Chains A and B, each alone.
Chain A
Amino acid sequence: GAVVSQHPSRVICKSGTSVKIECRSLDFQATTMFWYRQFPKQSLMLMATSNEGSKATYEQGVEKDKFLINHASLTLSTLTVTSAHPEDSSFYICSAMRRGDPYEQYFGPGTRLTVT
């Protein structure tokens, strides 16, 4: 149990376009989901916290108008990178916190975004 999926696993897009990444908890309800960004050979950087039915909370320095997060249901959160640029190329990872178990996060497999 406690499986989190991400879709797509890899995406290549042109500069100026928008890309949507989905994060789904497959077998549990996720009251909170987190979005991370990971640069090559670096650690995970928390971008935002997404709670079902409310606005996401963004970390300092993360542009909320560029990285749109929607947590529409207890099993789905989406991250949309708007007007993507090459510097947005990165590995994006989501995680989900199970209802009633706030101390462990379940991670998705990640999405590799390349902006050309």
Chain B
Amino acid sequence: GNSVTQMEGPVTLSEEAFLTINCTYTATGYPSLFWYVQYPGEGLQLLLKATKADDKGSNKGFEATYRKETTSFHLEKGSVQVSDSAVYFCALTPLTGGFKTIFGAGTRLFVKA
């Protein structure tokens, strides 16, 4: 079946450090891939997405590339800020099966000043 595995947190970084949050997936065909961010007490916000192999999604300095060969969609940011502290969810939406989105467990990021 479809699944998403992302690195366990929490991840603690100093401001301006480089961020990588690993995400790998299992799916048939070519699902759409997403990163969502959740700030404390809030719902999910779409951070970026990619819909086909080799696509790069980017937003607010975050990037992720859809790697079919490694079934990965790792999230990166060159220089994190305190305001990036949140929980990040990797997710996929398959092309079949009612378009049910599958979420990873979430990775909590703490950025220290």
**A residues touching B (Cβ–Cβ < 8 Å)?**
6, 32, 34, 41-44, 46, 49, 57, 93, 95, 97, 102-110, 112
Contact = CB atoms under 8 A, between A and B. Distances in A.
Contacts of A105: 93, 101
B106 A42 contact: yes
A89 B106 CA distance: 21
Interface in B72-97: 89, 93, 95
A109 B42 contact: yes
A108 to B, nearest CB: 6
Contacts of B99: 32, 97, 102-103
Contact of B46 (A46, A49, A97, A104): A104
B45 interface: yes
Interface of B: 32, 34, 36, 41-46, 49, 51, 89, 93, 95, 98-101, 103-106, 108
A107 B45 CA distance: 7
A57 B45 CA distance: 25
A105 B91 CA distance: 11
A42 B108 CA distance: 10
Question: Would you call the interface of chain A mostly helix, strand, loop, or mixed?
Answer: strand
B93 A104 contact: yes
A44 B89 contact: yes
Contact of A43 (B46, B98, B104): B104
Given A103-B51, A104-B49, A105-B93, A46 B100 contact: yes
A-B pairs, 5 with minimum CB distance: A110-B43, A109-B43, A103-B32, A107-B44, A43-B103
A6 B46 CA distance: 17
B70 to A, nearest CB: 21
Most A CB atoms within 10 A — which of B44, B45, B105, B108? B44
A104 B32 contact: yes
Given A42-B105, A44-B89, A103-B32, A49 B98 contact: yes
A106 B46 CA distance: 8
Contacts of A109: 42-43
Given A107-B44, A110-B42, 9 more contacts: A43-B105, A43-B106, A44-B44, A49-B98, A93-B44, A103-B32, A104-B32, A107-B46, A110-B43
